[in-house]
């Protein structure tokens, strides 16, 4: 499938829907303030080396409560990451409100020249830079999500995600060279049904309330997926509570995921390690643990420092397993760390240091980890 054609079709569909939503919007709905947040940056991260890029977001420039965001990034380890997002209404604007229909559109391009793989299971070994397996990895993804809020806290969403993985140039003579070489190109789209309960007070910087998510992902030939046939469910529970004052927050999270099916692409397995929200173990490298299922628990204490700057300390633990019958919570990977936060009107910039028995991880991204 020609992804460029797919992108064009999706963009056209987005424009049509946005126009329809604009026309359907009630004339007496009050406009929210327009805002523009731009943050250029240079950084070092464990998984991507030295890098530079910029993040930007506009809100309500069309007076339709919409938002448009763009992230561009390049690193010395040859990661190239581009992310375009569009929401109507914006996530923060629709927070705590009942609404008829929402649309979230994302287009993402992410490429690593060296994408490491350490094996499957909780006992997988990290051998060292000279021995670890790696390949060139490219992911192109387009997702469209429709949502409906039945109340201020209960939301149902349906999404279709077009995604293609390309695994190439597997390093020869490594433990998993053959497995990575056989991955090749995988066009792996899937459909999602999502139930959310969200009583938190903010999407950008929650200080109180609960978030509950139950997501079901389905993939198979009937949905256009010739590479995989699987069912994946994710249960994500997050809680926020103020302590000591209005700006000190304790945030806690528990996440469980399991994947089952007759044909599961390698990069659709459950993953732990690195600084991404859904797989965060910040004391370990990206993709450090992989299997059919995972458990992740995190707790953070977030506190103000000076003006828009804040700090955090955190602890995390997680494990992976081949099936629900084989869960062994005695084999848990643990880490702890600290970080800085910089608050803008439309998003949070975060930098973290994570420590484990395998070393230290340095991570930089946008948004709270959870």
CA distance 166 to 245: 49
Confidence of residue 22 (pLDDT cuts 50, 70, 90): very low
Q: Structure tokens of 170? A: 């597997």
Asked if residue 99 has pLDDT above 70, the reply is yes
Quick: pLDDT tens for 45-56. Answer: 888 888 899 999
CA distance 334 to 27: 53
Q: Decide which of 18 and 207 is more confident.
A: 207
For residue 31, the model assigns a pLDDT of 57
CA distance 80 to 147: 30
Q: Decide which of 1 and 163 is more confident.
A: 163
| Contact of 267 with 135, CB cutoff 8 Å | no
Asked if residue 5 has pLDDT above 80, the reply is no
Instruction: State if pTM tops 0.85.
Output: yes
Q: Decide which of 120 and 15 is more confident.
A: 120
Task: Return the CATH class of domain 3-366.
Answer: mainly beta
Rounded to an integer, the average pLDDT of 149-158 is: 98
Quick: pLDDT tens for 232-264. Answer: 999 999 999 999 988 899 999 999 999 999 899
CA distance 338 to 310: 11
Q: Structure tokens of 198? A: 């969200």
Of 8-12, 22-26, 93-97, 130-134, the range with the lowest mean pLDDT is 22-26
Q: Which 3-state string (H, E, C) describes the chain?
A: CCHHHHHHHHHHHHHHHHHHHHHHCCCCCCCCCCEEEEEEEEEEECCCEEEEEEEEEEECCCCCCCEEEEEEEEECCCCEEEEEEEEECCCCCCCCCCCCCEEEEEEEEEEEEEEEECCCCCCCCCCCCCCCEEEEEEEEEEEEEEEEECCCCEEEEEEEEEEEEEEECCCCCCCCHHHHHHHCEEECCEEEEEEEEECCCCCCCCCCEEEEEEEEEEECHHHCCCCCEEEEEEEEEEEEEECCCCCCEEEEEEEEEEEEEEECCHHHCEEECECCHHHCECCCCCCCEEECEEEEEEEEEEEEEECCEEEEEEEEEEEEECCHHHCCCCCCEEEEEEEEEEECCCCEEEEEEEEECCEEEEEEEECCCC
For residue 2, the model assigns a pLDDT of 45
Asked if residue 201 has pLDDT above 70, the reply is yes
Quick: pLDDT tens for 274-288. Answer: 988 999 999 999 999
Rounded to an integer, the average pLDDT of 8-12 is: 41
Q: To 5 degrees, how large is the angle CA 288–CA 114–CA 348?
A: 65
Quick: pLDDT tens for 105-118. Answer: 999 999 999 999 99
Q: Structure tokens of 321? A: 């397993």
Confidence of residue 328 (pLDDT cuts 50, 70, 90): confident
User: How many residues in total does the chain contain?
Assistant: 370
> CB burial class (10 A; 0-12, 13-18, 19+) of residue 4?
exposed
For residue 3, the model assigns a pLDDT of 45
For residue 8, the model assigns a pLDDT of 37
């Amino acid at each position: 499938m020609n992804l460029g054609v797919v992108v064009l079709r999706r963009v056209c569909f987005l424009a049509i829907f946005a126009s329809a939503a604009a026309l359907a919007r009630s004339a007496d709905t009050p406009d929210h303030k327009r805002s523009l947040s731009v943050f250029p940056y240079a950084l070092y991260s464990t998984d991507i080396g030295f890098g530079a890029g910029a993040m930007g977001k506009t809100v309500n420039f069309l007076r339709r409560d919409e938002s448009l965001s763009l992230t561009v990034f390049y690193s010395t380890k040859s990661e190239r990451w581009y992310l375009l997002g569009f929401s109507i209404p914006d996530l923060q604007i629709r927070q705590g409100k009942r609404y008829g229909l929402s649309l979230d559109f994302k287009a993402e391009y992410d490429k690593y020249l060296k994408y490491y793989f350490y094996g499957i299971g909780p006992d997988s070994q990290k051998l060292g830079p000279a021995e670890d397996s790696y390949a060139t990895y490219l992911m192109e993804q387009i997702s469209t999500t429709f949502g409906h809020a039945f109340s201020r806290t209960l939301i149902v969403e349906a999404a279709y995600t077009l995604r293609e993985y390309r695994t190439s140039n597997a390093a020869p003579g490594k433990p998993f060279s053959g497995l990575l070489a056989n991955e090749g190109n995988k066009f792996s789209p899937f459909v999602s049904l999502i139930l959310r309960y969200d009583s938190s007070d903010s999407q950008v910087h929650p200080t109180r309330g609960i978030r509950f998510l139950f997501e079901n992902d389905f993939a198979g030939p009937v949905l256009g997926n010739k590479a995989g046939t699987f069912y994946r469910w994710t249960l994500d529970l997050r809680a926020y509570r103020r302590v000591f004052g209005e700006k000190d927050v304790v945030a806690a999270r528990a996440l469980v995921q399991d994947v089952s099916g007759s044909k599961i692409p390698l990069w659709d397995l459950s993953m732990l390690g690195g600084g991404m929200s859904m797989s965060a173990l910040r004391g370990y490298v990206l993709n450090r643990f992989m299997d059919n299922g995972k458990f992740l628990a995190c707790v953070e204490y977030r506190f103000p420092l000076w003006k828009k700057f804040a700090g955090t300390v955190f602890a995390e633990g997680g494990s992976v397993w081949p099936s629900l019958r084989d869960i062994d919570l005695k084999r848990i990977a643990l880490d702890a760390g600290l970080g800085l936060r910089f608050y803008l009107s439309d998003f949070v910039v975060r930098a973290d240091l994570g420590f484990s028995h395998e070393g230290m991880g340095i991570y930089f991204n946008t948004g709270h980890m959870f």
